[in-house]
A = this chain, B = another copy of it.
Amino acid sequence: MNNPSPIRKPSRIQKRNRKLILDAALEVFSAHGYRGATLDLIAAEAGLSKPNILYYFTGKEEIHITLLNGLMDTWLAPMREIDPAGDPLEEILRYVHRKLEMSREFPRESRLFANEIIQGAPRIGSHLKAGLKPLVDETAALFEGWMAAGKLAQMDARHLIFSIWATTQHYADFDAQVQVLMQDQPVHEGADAFLDTLYRRLLTI
């Protein structure tokens, strides 16, 4: 009676409309934050009526959680792709470039997560523990192995990871500020070259 048959597999219309809604929600949530987003805005952006939105999702929060869960994997993919068998320096530099690329190509996703975490991760705190932490632990261990083997300069692996996130996501999350300070100059090329220099100098023994 309520949700579109939670048992049977989603129909063609269901798939289309759920996608429409989630796309619209990404746009609205990332631009206004959870509290600033309204169902009316999402409905307008999706081209659907508000009650119809609530036919597919039980409420605003479920849309938000579904979004975050669905994007988490994509967001963490570059870190999963670090190859333990590859060359340490090149693997990390490739990770940095991929993250920067994602800041440029998916700024909405970046801001969605940024908004959520700044507010204390009230709706995905558990997911950070369950999804993110194991991956970071694993990656930190990999980095530490490389350092112990003398293939990278010695440093705290977790803070290294934080610095990569911070420096790359900054260009998406703080774009408004970057734009003011860089005027019309091309941002991405400069960032790419700078971060290459930064991590090459930092990590090379």
Q: Does A148 contact B (CB under 8 A)?
A: no
Contacts A190-B156, A197-B155 given; indicate if A132 touches B31 (C-beta within 8 A): no
- Selected from B36, B125, B160, B162, the residue in CB contact (under 8 A) with A35 is B36
What is the total number of copies of this protein in its complex?
2
CB-CB under 8 A from A136, the residues of chain B are: 181
Closest chain B residue, CB of each to CB of A172:
B118
Q: Which of B119, B194, B198 meets A31, CB within 8 Å?
A: B119
CB neighbours (8 Å) of A165 from chain B are 170, 174
Q: Measured between C-beta atoms, what is the minimum distance from A202 to chain B in Å? A: 5
Task: Confirm or deny: A144 has a beta carbon within 8 angstroms of a beta carbon on chain B.
Answer: no
Q: Could you say which residues of chain B place their CB within 8 Å of the CB of A180?
A: 121, 125, 128-129, 132-133
Tell me whether A39 is interfacial, beta carbon within 8 Å: no
Q: Mark A35-78, 1 if CB is under 8 A from B, else 0.
A: 11000000000000000000000000000000000000000000
Let me know if A159 is at the binding interface, CB within 8 A.
yes
A178 to B118, CA, bound (A): 11
Q: Is A141 an interface residue (CB 8 A)?
A: no
Is A201 part of the binding interface, using a Cβ–Cβ cutoff of 8 Å?
yes
The A interface is mostly helix, strand or loop, or mixed, namely: helix
**CA distance in complex: A162, B179 (Å):** 12
Given known A-B contacts A111-B118, A158-B182, A159-B191, A32 and B32 have beta carbons under 8 A apart:
no
**Which residues of A, 72-122, contact B by the 8 Å Cβ criterion?**
111, 114-115, 117-121
Contact B119 A114 (CB under 8 A): no
Asked if A163 CB lies within 8 Å of chain B CBs, one says yes
Top 10 A-B residue pairs of the complex, sorted by shortest distance between their CB atoms: A35-B36, A166-B170, A159-B194, A166-B166, A121-B176, A35-B35, A128-B180, A120-B176, A166-B167, A163-B167
